[in-house]
A = this chain, B = another copy of it.
Amino acid sequence: MPHLIDRRHLDFVLDDVLRVGDLLSLPAFEAHDREGIAAILDTAEAIAREQFLPSHRLVDDNEPRIENGRVVLPAEIAMALAAFREAGFLGMVADQDVGGLGLPRTAANAAFLQFQAANVSIANYALLSMSAAELLAHHATAEQKARWLAPIIDGRYFGTMALSEPHAGSSLGDITTRATPRPDGTYSLRGTKMWISGGEHDMAANIVHLMLARIDGAAPGVKGISLFIVPRWRAGCGSASEGAREVRAGCGSASEGARREWNCIALAGLNHKLGQRGTVNTVLNVGEGGETVGEIVGAPGQGLACMFTMMNEARIGVSMGAVAHASAGYVHALAYARDRVQGRHPDSKDPTSPQVPLIEHADVRRMLLQQKAAAEGGVALGLYLAKLADLKKAAAIADQRADASLMLDFLTPIFKAWMSEESLRANWNAMQVLGGAGYTRDHPVELHYRDNRLNPIHEGTNGIQAIDLLGRKAVMAEGRALNLLIERLRKTALRARRQPQLAGYGTELEDAAARCSYAVSAMTARREQANARAALSEAHYVMELFGLTTFAWIWLEMALASLPRADHPDAATQAFHRGKLQTCRYVFCHRLVETRTLIEIIVRPDAAVYDMRDAWF
C-alpha cells in the first residue's frame, strides 16, 4: 500500500515553497524545530496507516445507528481516536498555556492530512474538537477554559458545532433556538439543531456543543445571535470546584452514568449520508423532556462573530480534507495505471504484441496530471493558508499580522470552494482511470468520491463562498485584501519572467491577475449602476477565475522551487522536480487558459442567468 500523502511532496512544500523554517524562528514557535516536525509527520503517517486506514471501508459499511436511544458506532472509531489522542494530536495547535503543543498550523495541518486521507469519517471527530478548542481558546473565560477547553484538548470531551436548524442552514440569521436567562447567570435553551456532526455518541465523557441561540428579546437577524457552551451531561461534570481528576472520575464510563445528569438534549434522528458515514450526523432537540442548561461564550449578540473563528478554521479543514481525498484517489489511480495493462499505442496495433500499462495512454496521463495537480497544488495552497494563519498570530510586525489576516480572509472562500471542486474532479478522474473497477466497492476510489462530495456543500456551500468572495472579501478594507493578492501574484510572475523556461508562465499569470482585478472592478461598477442582485449573479464565475489563478500561482511557486534541480544528477531527485515542472506546464497550458473564457462570461452584459424567470423553467 503506497502512502496516501506523499511525504516527499510535503517536505518540499514545507521547506522549499513555504520555508517553514522562517516560521520556526518566530518567538511563538521557538519551542519547535524542523526535526520535531519531521517526527510528528512520521507519527501521523504511522497512526493514520495503522489505526485509521484499515477501517475506512468498515465505517462506511457499518453506518451509525440508534439502539435503545443510543448511537452505536463501530468500535474502530473510538480506538483510532484514542490512538490520535494518546499521541497528543488533539492539542497540536492549541497554546501551551492551555495544555497544547503550540505547533505552527502549517505543520499541524500537514500532519492532519494523513488522517483525512486515511479515514475522514474518523478524522472529523478530531477536527471538530480541535476547532471547538480553537474557538474556546479565543473567546472563553479562563474559568471556562479550565472546565471545557482543557478536557477537549486532552480528549476526554469532544466538541461540536451546533449552528444549523431545519429551516436555517445557509441563512444562520434565521435560527430560532431560544436561550432564556436563569438566575445563576446560565441559560435555558430550547430548539432544534440539524446536521450536527458528532452530536451524540458514547465515545467521550462529555460532548461540548458550541451552540448558537437567541437570548429572549434579542434583535432579529445575526445581531441577536449568541454563542453557548451546551454540554451533553450537566451535573458532575460542570462545576468549577472540581479539578480535572474528579471530573474524569465522575464522567468517564457508562457504568457511572447515575452520577451524571443528562442535559436534556434529545436525539431526534440521524441523517443518512452519501459518504462520510462514520461521522454520525444528528438532529438534536434541545430542551426536550426537561431543561437544557448552557453558558454563554463571549458577549451577547456576538455569537456569529465568535463562531467564525471556528468556521474559518473549519472551512480550511474541509478543503484540506478534499485535498486529502484528491491525493488518496491519485495514489490509487497511479498505482492502478502502472499495474493494469490494457490496449496498445495507436501506432502499434499488432495484436500479438503485449498490452501496455494504462499509464502509457496519453489520455490516462491527462487524467493523472489533473489529479497530481489538484493533490499537490491543493496541499501547497492549503498549507500556504495555514502559514498565513500562523503569521496572523505570530508575525513579528503588526502590519505583517494584519496583512496575513487579510490574505487569509480573502483566500479562505477560494480554497474552500474552488479547491473542493477541483479535488472532486480529481476523484472523478481517479475513478475514470480505474474504469469499471473504479465503479465497484472493491476499490477505495468510489468511497473517496462519495466522501469528498460533501465538501462543496458543508461549512457554507460553494455558492455561499462565491458570494462571500465577490460581495465581501473583494471589497473589504477598501480592496486591500484583493490588492495584496494581486501584488503577491505579480511578485511570483516577475520571478518567473527572469527564468527563460518559466517566463511565458509569468506573463500568463500576470494576465490572469489582471483579469481578476478587472472582474472585481466590473462587478463593483455593475453594482453601483444597476443593483446588487445583477452584480452577484456572476459570483460563481468570479470564483472560478480566482480559483484557477491562485492555483496556477502556487504551481508557479513550486516550479520556481524545482527549476534549479531539474537536471539534478540523482535520477529520483531529477524526476521529482521535472514532474513538478511538467505539472505546472499542464496547469498553465490546459487550465489557466480557461480564465480567458471566464472573463468574457463575467463582463458580458448578457445576463443569461439573472434574467431567467421561475415560470420559464
Contacts and interface: CB of A to CB of B under 8 A. Distances in A.
Contacts of A453: 431, 439, 449
A87 to B, nearest CB: 31
Contacts of A346: 467, 471, 532-533, 535-536
A606 B579 contact: no
A604 to B, nearest CB: 6
Contacts of A431: 453, 457
Given A352-B220, A461-B432, A594-B597, A342 B169 contact: yes
Contact of A462 (B344, B432, B471, B617): B432
B441 A273 contact: yes
Most buried by B among A344, A365, A367: A365
A92 B423 CA distance: 44
Given A272-B442, A351-B222, A432-B463, A365 B590 contact: no
A589 interface: yes
A463 B272 contact: no
A454 B467 contact: no
A531 interface: yes
Interface stretch (A108-116, A154-162, A608-616): A608-616
A347 interface: yes
A436 B463 contact: no
A195 B439 CA distance: 11
Interface string A591-615: 0011011001100101011111111
B355 A467 contact: no
Given A220-B351, A346-B532, A609-B369, A540 B363 contact: yes
Contact of A362 (B345, B363, B536): B536
Interface string A396-436: 00000000000000000000000000000000000110011
Contacts of A467: 346, 363
B579 A616 contact: yes
Given A346-B532, A439-B274, A612 B351 contact: no
B608 A601 contact: no
A250 interface: no
A221 interface: yes
A123 interface: no
Contacts of A361: 463
A515 to B, nearest CB: 13
A533 B579 contact: no
A582 B611 contact: yes
Given A590-B609, A608-B585, A439 B462 contact: no
A586 B608 contact: yes
A438 interface: yes
Interface in A355-369: 355, 359-369
A575 interface: yes
Given A435-B169, A537-B362, A617 B334 contact: yes
Contacts of A612: 365, 368-369, 582, 586
A342 B170 contact: yes
B355 A171 contact: yes
A145 interface: no
Contacts of A350: 221
Contacts of A606: 585, 589
Interface of A: 164, 167-171, 173-174, 194-195, 220-223, 271-275, 334, 338, 341-347, 349-352, 355, 359-369, 372, 431-432, 435-436, 438-442, 446, 449-450, 453-454, 456-458, 461-463, 466-467, 471, 531-537, 539-540, 571, 575-576, 578-579, 582, 585-586, 589-590, 593-594, 596-597, 600-601, 604, 606, 608-617
20 contacts: A169-B435, A171-B342, A171-B344, A174-B351, A275-B439, A338-B614, A345-B532, A347-B533, A366-B540, A368-B612, A368-B617, A369-B609, A431-B453, A432-B462, A449-B453, A575-B615, A582-B613, A586-B609, A593-B601, A594-B594
